[in-house]
Chain A
Amino acid sequence: MAARGVERVLAKCEACIIEGNFYEAHQMFRTVFFRYNSQQKFAEAADLLYRGALILLQHNQHTSGADLSLLLLDVLNNAKSPVSDDTIARVTGLFEKMDPECPERYPYLTKAINWSRKVDKDHSKRGHPDLHQRFGVIFWHERNYAQARYHYIHSTDGEGCAQMLLEFHTSHGYPSEVDMFITQAVLQYLCLQNKTTANICFEMYTQKHPKIDNGPPYRLPLLNFIWMLLVALEGGKLAVFTVLCEKYQVSINRDPHYKEYLDQIGQLFFGVPPPQRTPQGLFGNFLQNMLGAAGSDDEEDEENLVAGKGASSSGSTNSRMASGSSSLLRDSSSPLMATSASPSKTEKTFDLD
């Protein structure tokens, strides 16, 4: 059986590593990997790469460890290996051991998410929630809250997200934002049609945050708004939604983006027709950004997938940003405060499923 082959190679490489011949070990892993790969022995190849990468990373050989890690994701991709607890543990385990500063880490992250998108039809837009959850935990441990937050929002771990947000708020936010941190998360979960996680996250955050009194109802109007909004989602009555948005307009205006999230939530849960807009309008951009990977090609996804990673802007990004900013000025077409919106085109500028 070929597994024995893997063991033999590993034994040799381990010997190399003990002697400090990291270069030789790395090359040996690569050579054997390419042999397996050309023989289509993907399981063996993946096993070898995982264990090789792990040994190298454990010996602080970050570049060669990352190299094998990236090769592992290529194999998972090519072999269309399904997302399982075991593969998630391996993929994120290597990520955790990579040097946070090493330049391969971010490409590795996006490659991992893209693998989960490709092999799992249910999560072909944003990547597998369990994979996001693991990345969220790792970033949280590294106190990289912005990244942790992004991945938690794409996970189904509302409890973990709440605890992370609580810590993020108390360590880096302003006291006046105690209700805004959770509002932002809940509204984003809802835009991603993840009602269950939104509910759990809200419950945990409000229960555990030392600066929030017992409720509902709460002392802070914005929290009451979110509480009632979450209840209203169940009934799905547009009139209720409209009353809530009217009565809490002052609180909603605290962050100009809330209105956009609520427009989207109105469409998703309360049958509000989408506003008329140009196909490349601000809102389309906005959602694509938030959803990460809404139906675009890979290259663009890699850019979108990870928040907090600034930098690169391709030509298409620039043009989309330009068209987005021009429609910033045109903000009155929102159906949020109106029960009867203007008749909509049925065009889909964004796609949530």
Chain B
Amino acid sequence: QSTDNSWQSVIPQDWIPVISQDSVRQQTQRPQPPLSDAYLQGLPAKRRRMMG
């Protein structure tokens, strides 16, 4: 991935290890399985109708 580390100067320093670790985790993250009906019920009403 990007070797540009300029982002590190922008954010609070104690976030850097968290974000770095999460970057690694996200690389191996499995694709999101289909979402449950319960979760989808949190979408705005019309949006759900459009998708349905």
**Which residues does A use to contact B, with CB under 8 Å?**
145-146, 149, 168-169, 172-174, 176-177, 180-181, 184-185, 188, 216-217, 221, 224-225, 228, 231, 237, 239-240, 243-244, 246-248, 250-251, 253-255, 257, 285-286, 289-290, 304, 306-310, 313, 317, 320-321, 324-325
| A248: contacting residue among B21, B22, B49, CB under 8 A | B22
Given contacts A237-B10, A240-B11, A321-B49, 9 further A-B contacts (CB under 8 A): A176-B32, A217-B21, A221-B25, A247-B7, A251-B26, A251-B29, A306-B45, A307-B41, A324-B50
A-side contacts of B21, CB under 8 Å: 217
B-chain residues with CB within 8 Å of residue A177 when the two chains form the complex = 35-36, 38-39
Q: Is the CB of A172 within 8 A of B38?
A: yes
B residues neighboring A (CB under 8 Å): 7, 10-12, 15, 18-19, 21-23, 25-27, 29, 32-33, 35-39, 41-50
Q: Please report whether the interface of chain B is mostly helix, strand, loop or mixed according to DSSP.
A: helix
A304 touches B45 (CB 8 A): yes
Instruction: Please state if A221 and B44 are interface contacts (CB–CB under 8 Å).
Output: no
How many pairs of A and B residues are in contact by the CB < 8 Å rule? 108
Please state if B7 and A243 are interface contacts (CB–CB under 8 Å). yes
Which of A181, A224, A231, A304 makes the CB contact (< 8 A) with B39?
A: A181
Which residues of chain B are near A188, meaning CB under 8 Å? 42
Is A289 touching B41 in the complex (CB atoms < 8 A)? no
Complex formed: what's the CA distance from A41 to B42 in Å?
43
CB distance from B26 to the nearest CB of A (A): 4
- Interface pair B33/A174, CB less than 8 Å apart: yes
Could you list some 10 contacts between A and B, CB below 8 A?
A168-B38, A173-B39, A177-B38, A240-B11, A246-B7, A251-B26, A257-B47, A289-B45, A307-B44, A321-B50
Which of B23, B27, B38, B45 is A309 in contact with, Cβ under 8 Å? B45
- CA–CA, A276 and B17, complex, Å: 36
A172's closest neighbor in chain B, by CB?
B38
In the bound assembly, the distance between CA atoms of A185 and B42 in angstroms comes to 8
Contacts of B44 in A (CB 8 A): 286, 289-290, 307
Report the 7 A-B pairs with minimum CB-CB distance, sorted nearest first: A289-B44, A172-B38, A146-B41, A221-B22, A250-B26, A254-B32, A217-B18
In the assembled complex, the CB of A336 is this many whole angstroms from the nearest CB of chain B, namely 15
Measured CA separation A72–B39 after assembly (Å): 36
Which chain A residue lies CB-closest to B20? A247
Question: Which of A173, A257, A321 interacts with B36 by CB under 8 Å?
Answer: A173
Residues in B with CB closer than 8 Å to A184 are 39, 42
Interchain CB contact under 8 A, B36 and A221: no
